[in-house]
Amino acid sequence: MKEEIERYAWPDPSDPSRYRGLGEMARGYRDEGFGVVLTTPLMVMTYTQWLRGLEQFMLDTVLNPNLLEYMMDKILEILMEMTRLLLEEVKPNVDVILISDDLSHQGGLMYSPEMYRKLFKPRHRAIVEFLKRHGGGAKILYHCCGAAKPLLSDLVEIGIDAYNPVQVSAVGMDDTRELKKEFGKDLTFWGGIDTQRVMPFGRPEDVWKEVKRRIEDLGPDGGFILAAVQNIRPEVRPENICALFEAALEFGQYPFKS
């Protein structure tokens, strides 16, 4: 099976068409006064899942972990080279570097903490160390949907600076005051405005309450970037979108209004 992995037609990370024009784009955003967030291809678990299929990937974690690790490391080698060339193109005009791998679903973790720490955390640690060396001081944002609270301390330990999306509809994630108390000195929280219930089904006053609550919970002493949990869907009423922005302007100023 390892021979099949080596024979696979892997992409060429040095293809210049992947990066052409991105440096100019990043510089343009910076010149206009925007913060620049760079989305990297560093999703080692995700790409391996796509190649193996999610069901086989999950079976591999138990039945064939050596092969899974071999495949992840092959993929990670390519993704890191792509990211290195990408960073060479866009530095120094990047403020935040985004990496991603889903570790959880709405009801809990997809993998036990022990399995995460054995199979996946070493690769995530290598990614963070790589970005600390090559990222020009940009902050590292980790995206993971779902109920990831049991692994937030692991993300802090490997050097993650910010966490997105704070899916408040997931198990253990709604108590944002407790999240701030437990992790706020180490993590910036990015997101938190519910897109599963409040934005699509609530009234504007419900959106105001949601925004006020998350700012009061996550905003003290900084370390909170207010945003919707996920993309705002087309069915969300315009007045609710306006309410989100209006409430953010009303309550998102230091000192906070109670």
CATH code of residue 131? 3.20.20.210
Same structural domain, 219 and 139:
no
Strands 96-100 and 224-228: unpaired
The CA-CA-CA angle for residues 161, 124, 54, to 5°, reads 120
Rg of the chain over Cα atoms, rounded to whole angstroms, equals: 20
Domain end (from 108, 131, 164): 164
Per the domain annotation, does 171 fall within a domain? no
Same structural domain, 159 and 247:
no
pLDDT at 125: 98
Pairwise CA distance, residues 121 & 45, whole Å = 10
Identify the CA nearest to 106 among candidates 142, 141, 149, 143.
149
Per the domain annotation, does 170 fall within a domain? no
The DSSP bridge partners found for residue 223 are none
Same structural domain, 129 and 33:
yes
Identify the CA nearest to 251 among candidates 203, 193, 170, 197.
193
Residue/partner pairs of 25-34 with CB below 8 Å, 24 or more apart: 26/90, 26/93, 26/94, 27/93, 29/93, 30/93
Identify the CA nearest to 152 among candidates 163, 167, 141.
163
Same structural domain, 159 and 209:
no
The DSSP bridge partners found for residue 226 are 191
Q: 252: domain range?
A: 178-258
Per the domain annotation, does 207 fall within a domain? yes
Same structural domain, 157 and 182:
no
Q: 96-119 b/e with 16+ CB inside 10 Å = b?
A: bbbbbbebbeeeebbbeeeebeeb
The CA-CA-CA angle for residues 89, 95, 131, to 5°, reads 65
Domain end (from 164, 191, 214): 164
Phi-psi region of 108 (alpha: psi -120 to 50; beta: other; left: phi over 0): left
Same structural domain, 136 and 251:
no
Domain end (from 164, 197, 214): 164
Per the domain annotation, does 172 fall within a domain? no
pLDDT (tens, 9 = 90+) of the chain, 258 residues, equals 788 899 999 999 999 999 999 999 999 999 999 999 999 999 999 999 999 999 999 999 999 999 999 999 999 999 999 999 999 999 899 999 999 999 999 999 999 999 999 999 999 999 999 999 999 999 999 999 999 999 999 999 999 999 999 999 999 999 999 999 999 999 999 999 999 999 999 999 999 999 999 999 999 999 999 999 999 999 999 999 999 999 999 999 877 665
Same structural domain, 125 and 189:
no
Same structural domain, 152 and 216:
no
Pairwise CA distance, residues 42 & 47, whole Å = 9
How many structural domains is the chain composed of?
A: 2
